[in-house]
Amino acid sequence: MSKLDYNDWMKQALAEAQKALPVDVPVGAIVVDSEGNCIGRGFNTRERDQNSLGHAELNALLEASQAIGSWRLTDCTLFVTLEPCPMCASAINQARMKQVVFGSFDVDFGGCGGWVSVHQKPNPSLSVIGGVLEAECGQLLATFFKNLRLKR
């Protein structure tokens, strides 16, 4: 995949993130197979569903697994607007994914190098690329949290 493809897919992940608003933190994710087909989409649903597992990445992984009939998502790439947390990074490893491409870095809770590097074990071949459309992804989050503070 070229850098242009990364930007295009991240824009789709940003569109997914918009679906979480105004209730949930706007994070969106897309799973793309080795042939360049979107096989899974997801956005945060924690507040909406009152489920701590309602992360965009997990929702996208579930949809992708159902689409192909397997939990193994080898040769697939996950595009997500925010660096996956340790829980999601572990799930990505468990799914045997090939690559993760994320937008904003998360120094407080990131599991792909921001806070910890869960992605390196047990799958050291997992490729991680951060900072794709970082400004756009970060702005969406910043606006959400600014509006949340104004409501308090």
Catalytic site residue from 47, 57, 63, 83: 57
CB 73 within 8 A of CB 97: yes
Phi, psi dihedrals of residue 42, rounded to the nearest 5°: -165, 160
Residue 112's nearest CA partner among 40, 22, 124 is: 124
57 is annotated as an active-site residue? yes
| Distance from C-alpha of 89 to C-alpha of 34, rounded to nearest angstrom | 20
| Distance from C-alpha of 44 to C-alpha of 51, rounded to nearest angstrom | 10
| Distance from C-alpha of 18 to C-alpha of 137, rounded to nearest angstrom | 11
| Distance from C-alpha of 120 to C-alpha of 91, rounded to nearest angstrom | 13
Which residues lie closer than 8 Å to 65 by C-beta, 6 or more apart?
40, 71, 73, 95
Residues annotated as catalytic (active site), given as ranges: 57
